[in-house]
Structure 1
């Protein structure tokens, strides 16, 4: 999973980051979150079609985007997008 934010994005730090932390805990670390500062890495943000922050991109094991959330995505939505039985052997987003 790739989470896009910027230093000035309040929702990124007060809402999205805690939701991502909860997801990592819920999945026992099977979901790996890579945070990208969209202001400092605009080329990466453009590649993923980021229009606003926060944005989260769910990737399959082959690196294909399976879901893109423009704006805040709560833990339950993210969990549903990565799948109900995430494990390191089954499906890990990177």
Structure 2
């Protein structure tokens, strides 16, 4: 291969990799809608129904793994938000040894957060580390919808 051609190929690969990185970075932590209206049962999360700890008004379900670097910070954010809201709970589901749960919910990265309403229906999904204000805004929307 000629040096000029190799240089152009290298520049093109770098450009594509940079564009993909920017796109992934922009989507990280964004709130997305969830399709479907099936309630999430504790058993589908690999949890015991008696100790699952779902909230009366909403539940923040965090999917994490043992080796996730951003999961501890996400756990703190979600716990703070849940503690500040009556009837809202935070549930942490460790997927390290539960690939079946990861497949069931389509979790491709950790942390991933599901926001469930009081009927345990997933209303939003956040891939990556969520920002506190985004979680609060989504909870406000869900809690407002439940009052109507």
Instruction: Verify same fold: TM over 0.5.
Output: yes
Q: How many residues align?
A: 87
List runs of 5+ in structure 1 lacking aligned partners.
none
Q: Which residue of 2 aligns with 1:26?
A: 84
Q: Following superposition, which runs of at least 4 residues in structure 1 exceed 3 angstroms of deviation?
A: none
One of 33, 39, 47 as aligned partner of 2:104: 47
RMSD, matched Cα: 2.2
Larger Rg: 2
Structure 2 vs 1, CA of residues 9 and 79 (structure 1 numbering), >3 Å: closer, same or farther? same
Any gaps of 5 or more consecutive residues in structure 2? Answer: 1-59
Q: What's the offset of the Cα at 1:85?
A: 8.4
More helix by share: 2
Instruction: Return the TM-score normalized by structure 1.
Output: 0.78
| Residue matched to 2:129 | 72
Higher relative contact order, structure no. (Cα contacts within 8 Å, ≥ 6 residues apart): 1
Decide whether aligned partners of structure 1 residues 60 and 84 sit closer, same or farther in structure 2, where only a CA change above 3 A counts.
Answer: closer
Change (3 A) 1:85 1:37: closer
